[in-house]
Amino acid sequence: MSDVLVTGSQGFVGRNLCAELSRREGLQLHRYDVDHPPSDLRKALATADIIFHLAGVNRPPTPEDYQRGNAGFTEQICHDLAAMGRKPKIVLSSSIQAELDNPYGQSKRSAEQALEHYCQKTGAAGVVYRLKNLFGKWCRPNYNSVTATFCHNIANDLPIQISNPANVVDLTYIDDVVAAFLREPEPRTTQGGFRFAEALPSHQTTLGELAALIQSFRDHRKTLRVPDFSQPFVRRCTQRFYPI
């Protein structure tokens, strides 16, 4: 039986991943999030074959909390595993902002470096996914997803704010993230070492185009026109408006 730990299990990515993992037979799933006692984490670390480390912060009260919540927590997990003499495979969700010189990006890059150091020290397998702007089911509006915010506000006749309609956003669908995670080979068949995962499929559009597309879904209720579901991006954006 595979033993799987998901940190950040109640977050957007974690919730979607756990929904898929819970459907699999012969798998022991451990969920860990901020409201769980630290003892739950230690118990799961002691048995997990693979860890999907999705926990982190992106809107903390102070800039210092970025390092504590992202890099610090990753360092803690790696330290605890090393102290236990364990080396499960770790799949780390990072961000394309790790390439930028801002507090959030710096903390994500530090988390990546902590995992790389752990892999070099123990011979464990570690994989980093630098995720782009995500959207899809259970994404929280008015938080950190422009797509979810536009869908929520337009569906509820609330105004939307666009800083610059020409700004380009690169969007990745949550199901593509989950599918990539689930394709990661089993730890027992994986050689140790640290690597970055290949970039996941994404769709580039402008904020103006995205707002217009989502507004068109709302207008279809009056015009009775059906969106072009043959386009994957259109189909994925319509979940708020159409039960497909």
> pLDDT (tens digit, 9 = 90+) per residue, 23-42?
999 999 999 999 999 999 99
The domains found in the chain, sorted by start residue, are 2-240 (3.40.50.720)
pLDDT of residue 111: 98
Nearby residues of 180 by Cβ (< 8 Å), 6 or more positions away: 129, 197, 200
Between the alpha carbon of residue 99 and those of residues 106, 109, 173, 207, the distances in Å are 8, 7, 21, 22
Q: Name residue 194's beta-bridge partners.
A: 126
Q: Calculate what percentage of the chain has a pLDDT beyond 70.
A: 93
Model confidence at 199, pLDDT cuts 50, 70, 90, reads very high
Residue 58 has pLDDT above 80, yes or no: yes
Lowest mean pLDDT among 49-63, 199-213, 225-239: 225-239
Lowest mean pLDDT among 50-54, 56-60, 67-71, 202-206: 56-60
* Global confidence as pTM: 0.90
Residue 225 has pLDDT above 90, yes or no: no
pLDDT of residue 1: 53
Signed CA dihedral, 160, 166, 168, 174: sign only: positive
pLDDT of residue 81: 98
- Residue 185 is encoded by which pair of tokens? 């080979």
Alpha helices in the chain, H assignment, sequence order = 12-21, 38-45, 64-66, 73-84, 103-122, 146-155, 174-182, 207-223, 232-237
Looking at every residue in the chain, the average pLDDT score rounds to: 91
32 tagged catalytic: no
Give the separation between CA 101 and CA 104, rounded to whole angstroms.
Answer: 8
Decide if 125 contacts 136 (C-beta within 8 A). no
Q: Tens digits of per-residue pLDDT, 145-185?
A: 899 999 899 989 999 999 899 999 999 999 999 999 999 98
Decide if 119 contacts 183 (C-beta within 8 A). no
pLDDT of residue 116: 98
Cβ-based neighbour number of residue 206 at 10 Å: 15
Which of 115-119, 211-215, 217-221 is predicted most confidently? 115-119
pLDDT of residue 71: 96
Catalytic residue among 104, 118, 129, 173: 104
Decide if 203 contacts 228 (C-beta within 8 A). no
- Residue 130 is encoded by which pair of tokens? 């630098």
Model confidence at 243, pLDDT cuts 50, 70, 90, reads very low
Q: Which amino acid is at 104?
A: Y
pLDDT of residue 244: 40
